[in-house]
Structure 1
Amino acid sequence: MPVQFRDYYQTLGVSKTSTQDEIKSAFRKLARKFHPDTAEDKKTAEEKFKEINEAYEVLGDPEKRAKYDELGANWQQGGYAPPPQGQTWQQAYGRGGDAGGAEFHFGGTGFSDFFEQMFGGRRGGGFSRGFSGGYDFDDGPSRGQDVEADLLVSLEEAFHGSTRQISFRRGDTGKIQTYTVKIPRGVREGQRIRLAGQGSEGQGGGESGDLYLRIKFQKHPDYEVQGEDLVYELEIPAYDAVLGADVELPTLEGRARLHVPPGTQSGQRFRLSGKGLPGRGGARGNFYAVASITVPKNPSDAEKAIWKQLADLSR
């Protein structure tokens, strides 16, 4: 089945001229609405949340966004000469394919086939026969190519550890193979999980390549990952920044209380030690709340009068 183009701008409800800040804001709004932990219809929300994450994975990255915009709906033809007569783009250039042009179709990774073939880099090291380009192979056995796919992992899964059902099939065959993959607690973005012998088939009696699942962290609507630390943008009304307040923070272990002292400045960082992701050796990273001072967008006349009094007192 042909891989369908995905309109990521439509998914996030933004235009092609939207700024990175506008795209980030749209993602956060939708991600909070459809986050499986808070949505009423969890099954529908989970699929929608994955679509939103995939769209932001591309549009939120200037390099990926530029590639996506440049190739557009003709993404399969980008950067290659036309394929030989009688061959498809996958058969000629192996985008996500096996020897002879067979594609790998994955299920349970959290990403669509479109994303994997455009950005996933499914082919790895090793040689396989049947790959076009005029190479002259001898008659000895050759090892099949390794194959890579991205595995979208939530921060909750990285924190607690989990198992995932991963399925895949080669080309247009009806045979679907399913594996239970263990995601260890404390897994890091960029790590790879290896399924030995599940890559491209070898030729002439050669062994099969391996399948590698490369960890990609799901984007979170509330905070960002920096190594083992979590960084949260804490929006504080101006009056709380001046007078001080007690606030709640959404950590991976539930709500945590933080006292914001009087006179808090925008950009000031507050640390909750050991509330980040698990690290090497069992140590935990930290949770940082970074203050962002907010002011009324449309103050009433009464509010303006009070702000003017404050301004006069400060002069």
Structure 2
Amino acid sequence: MPVQFRDYYETLGVSKTATDDEIRSAFRKLARKYHPDVAKDKKAAEEKFKEINEAYEVLGDPEKRKKYDQLGADWNRPGGFQPPPGWQGGGQQPGGGYYQWGGDGGGVQFEFDGTGFSDFFEAFFGGGRGRSAFGGFGRRQATAERGADVEADIMVPLEEALHGSTRTVSLRRAGSDKVENYQVKIPRGVHEGQRIRLRGQGQAGTRGGKSGDLFLRVRLARHPDFTVEGSDLIHEVKIE
């Protein structure tokens, strides 16, 4: 049965001779722009996001891209698109799926009806496994999934950075009113930007998967008398 052809190169705004890096860069740029969690028109953005992800599912996979390019002159056939003789693209695999955006603040997931792929993709490439080259994008299988890692800043006074300490840190996850307390060991000699890892304290896993990790990124508090440059502690003294 003829289906509407999808020009994946046009969807990503790249030429048919684009390199892998150019395709990846275009995908990331568009995915950020049209992600439903940040767009004003969420419904329109969701549809655009599905198109972008589908295009990258094909063009971002060397084998799928090669098969797609083999379609060649049949791209604009009147009356709908049908595979050429001997086409070995794939078969339709109906089902459901979801896409996940993972980031520093945890993760936001939203569901699409069906597989989230067009009839064109289903007819010629099957259900597809999805890709995860951009912060957790991609269609996931019904298997255990590890939770996303979470990052947060922690302000550390200079004295604690020099001598080390143990303190209670209170954090509230994005989208939640619940405040959670953690006992955190500040290593002696910790420096600006260093990350302290709390295993299993990130976003919860799904389908029995393990939780992600919580990373606390150190931000050194300003001191009235001393400044830190790398591993050096500097104190300025005026000499008359």
Using structure 1 for the length normalisation, give the TM-score.
Answer: 0.38
Larger relative contact order (Cα-Cα within 8 Å, sequence gap ≥ 6): 2
Q: When you count helix as a share of all residues, which structure comes out higher?
A: 1
